[in-house]
Structure 1
Amino acid sequence: MRNCQVRYFKPEGLSGLELLSCPDVNYLFPPHFHDAYCIWLNSSGGERYRHSGNSSILQPGHFGIIAPGEVHENYACENDRRNLLTFYLAPSQLQSLAAQIRDVDSDDCEFRTDFYRDNEAYAGLIQLHQTLYHSDSKLEKETAFIELLALLISRHTAKTINSAKFGQETERVNKIIELFHEQIEEDFGLSELAQQFDCTPYHLIRFFKKAVGIAPHAYLVQMRLEKAKQLISEGDSLVDAALATGFADQSHLTRHFKNKFGVTPGIYRKQVLG
């Protein structure tokens, strides 16, 4: 089987940040989400994406931001051109730097999912990716990261929307997701969930999928993969990470992990831990 050229990297000294590079034109990232903000671009060509039921192309010279928890998929438009560069940024990092810049409590600061034509930021993201991968200077890496993130914050952040103003179904979706977070290893039953949230199983699937783009079980699997990835990057064994996140065994985790992230858990561990 042909090896996929997906590479993950955690820059030393910068918590809450992970990088991805993928020159593999044949690799399709299936419907998935991240716990972090996903800031991404294809510096060699166009990248087709699907989000919220819509399909479009991230054009050369543009970059995208996907908010945490929002389901999307993407793949290269052309068969011989791809240089996918991605930054996964923890919301806490965004809020911390926003507070420094504005000298206020910035818990309400967020990036919304959108796609941008911003030549300065686009070029800066490409340069930052290279700097974080190749520079030996902690000062250079930290400075480049803060300056570029400050630029994005000044141009492309918005205030958090209070979800309380949305309807009952949105509130139930949020509570289901919260329950998944709290009991991530639990083997939930659809009927029990529906009873707990005062609806039929069919209705639960319908309003959940309408809100987030995938069914509850698929969402829980994605959530478990995000948590397993975090545990592995912190040094947990693959077996422990699998059991802690509700997977039946290591092979079950490996199959899903490879499908989402493009590498096996073992390869990911070697990439980020050395």
Structure 2
Amino acid sequence: MTEKATYRYAAELGGLELLQADYRRQTFSRHSHEGYTIGVIESGAQQFYRTGGNHIAPRNSIILVNADEIHSGCAASAGGWAYRAMYPLPEQMDAVLSEQPQRLAGTPYFPEPVVQDPALAWQLDMLIRTLETSTNRLQRESMVYTLLAQLVLRHARSRGDPAPVVLAPPRLQLAKAFLDEHPAADTSLTELSALAGLSPYHLVRQFKQYFGLPPHAYQIQARLRFAKTLIRQRKSLAAAAVEAGFHDQSHMHRHFKKALGTTPGQYALQHRQRRLSA
């Protein structure tokens, strides 16, 4: 059976990215997403890195990765794994949770990478399937709000609570913000170090300590995010690659496949098909 990854966008919350995937040999490099990763394993098992260690997610378990958190992924069973996932942005989570009576004080943080909650796993699977197929707006939106609120209530804590989350010093936050805001910039380590007020050695060491990747690898992730935005805007793949800061289209293709499990061309085609069918 061939591997497949289908990305879709639901209209809810201003545009909610969804993924339906079936992998046999796919190995994800360490990468991050702007949004949370909330997934349910439908068959097989996945092994992935998160929060400084490796974890196994078997069938019917929920995978939770916080926004901008470094993680990876590969098969943990002989037949690979299949799953569905959604990627709500932090601001989208805040929109859902802003009026909850038991609202957390701050952005939700999921401490456990894998949770066993059969009832909620079933609801998550049904939600994503509904967003893929149903045109009933009231049903879709109701399910999104209910699922995310329950997930946070049961399995999240506030970043203000005692938790294994240590905020990076302002100097490192400044360097990270520059890479996020200027992903295509041809920035040298010397220039980035001067911006942060750190020596090159300390910048590389501390950046990886706090953000999980050294600056040059994090820059690739920022460029991939920008490239996705350009592709959704219907830029050509060659133009998106250059504008996002990659050497050429093949350079973007290689990193795109390793981080997202699909090619830029497939991603562009799926987005065009979604728009045509909307």
Q: Which TM bucket (shorter chain)?
A: 0.7 to 0.9
Unaligned runs of 5+ in 2: 274-278
Conserved in 2, the CA contact under 8 Å of 1:4 and 1:262?
no
Counterpart residue number, 2:152? 153
Would the alpha carbon gap of residues 113 and 83 (structure 1) be closer, same or farther in structure 2, given more than 3 Å must change? same
How many Å apart are 1:174 and its aligned residue? 1.4
Q: Output the CA distance in 2 between the equivalents of 1:201 and 1:3.
A: 44
- Cα distance in 2 for partners of 1:235, 1:153 equals 35
Aligned mate of 1:108, from 94, 106, 109 = 106
Q: Deviations over 1:8-51 (max 9, x none)?
A: 11124552311112111211121110001111232213211112
Could you say which residue in structure 2 is the equivalent of 1:133? 132
SS at match of 1:69: coil
Q: Tell me which amino acid in the other structure corresponds to 1:64.
A: I
- What CA distance in whole angstroms lies between the structure 1 residues aligned with 2:107 and 2:63? 18
Letter in 2 for 1:187: D
Task: Quote the offset at 1:77 in angstroms.
Answer: 0.8
1:132 alignment partner, SS class: helix
**Deviation readout 1:103-155 (Å, 9 max, x if unpaired):** 98x78232334232222211111111211122232332222222212211322
Of residues 152-161 and 71-80 in structure 1, the stretch that sits farther from structure 2 once superposed is 152-161
Q: Secondary structure at the match of 1:101?
A: coil
- In the TM superposition, 1:24-35 aligns within 5 A as 24-35=23-34
Question: What is residue 172 of structure 2 aligned with on the other side?
Answer: 173
Aligned residues: 269
**Letter aligned with residue 90 of structure 2:** P
1:83-122 alignment runs, 5 A limit: 83-102=82-101, 108-114=106-112, 115-122=114-121
- Counterpart position of 2:251: 252
Normalization by structure 2: what TM-score?
0.86
Measure, in 2, the Cα distance between the counterparts of 1:113 and 1:181: 25
Aligned match of 1:71:
70
Match of 1:220 in 2: 219
Paired position in structure 1 for 2:276:
none
Give me the TM-score of the superposition, normalised by structure 1. Answer: 0.87
**Distance of 2:43 and 2:92 partners within structure 1:** 28
Partners of 1:166 and 1:268 lie apart in 2 by 34
The change in CA–CA distance for 1:232 and 1:100 in structure 2 (over 3 A counts) is: farther
In 1, the alpha carbon distance for the partners of 2:81 and 2:221 equals 25
CA distance in 1: counterparts of 2:195 and 2:96, whole angstroms? 39
1:162-241 mapped onto 2 (5 Å cutoff): 170-241=169-240
- For the 8 Å contact 1:44–1:60, the answer to whether it is kept is yes
Query: How many angstroms does 1:60 deviate by?
Result: 3.1
3-state SS, counterpart of residue 23 of structure 2: coil
Post-superposition CA distance 1:133-181 (Å, at most 9, x none): 222323322222222122113223333349xx968x6332211111112
Instruction: Judge conservation of contact 1:52–1:213 (CA < 8 Å) in 2.
Output: no
Within 5 Å, give how 1:13-32 maps onto structure 2. Answer: 13-32=12-31
CA pair 273-28 structure 1, distance change in 2 beyond 3 A: same
Contact conserved, 1:37 with 1:111, CA < 8 A, in 2? Answer: no
How far off is 1:82 after superposition? 1.6
State the 1:202 CA deviation.
Answer: 2.0
What is the root-mean-square deviation in Å for CA atoms of aligned residues?
2.5
Letter in 1 for 2:125: I
Give me the whole-angstrom Cα distance separating, in 1, the residues matched to 2:251 and 2:28.
Answer: 19
Letter in 2 for 1:228: A
Q: Is the 8 A contact 1:4 1:263 kept in 2?
A: no
Q: What is the CA deviation profile of residues 160-205 of structure 1, one whole-angstrom value per residue up to 9, with x for unaligned ones?
A: 349xx968x6332211111112222211111222233233222221
In 2, are the aligned partners of 1:45 and 1:83 still within 8 Å (CA)? yes
Counterparts of 2:11 and 2:111 in 1: how far apart (Å)? 27
Could you tell me which runs of 5 or more consecutive residues in structure 1 were left unpaired when the two chains were aligned.
Answer: none
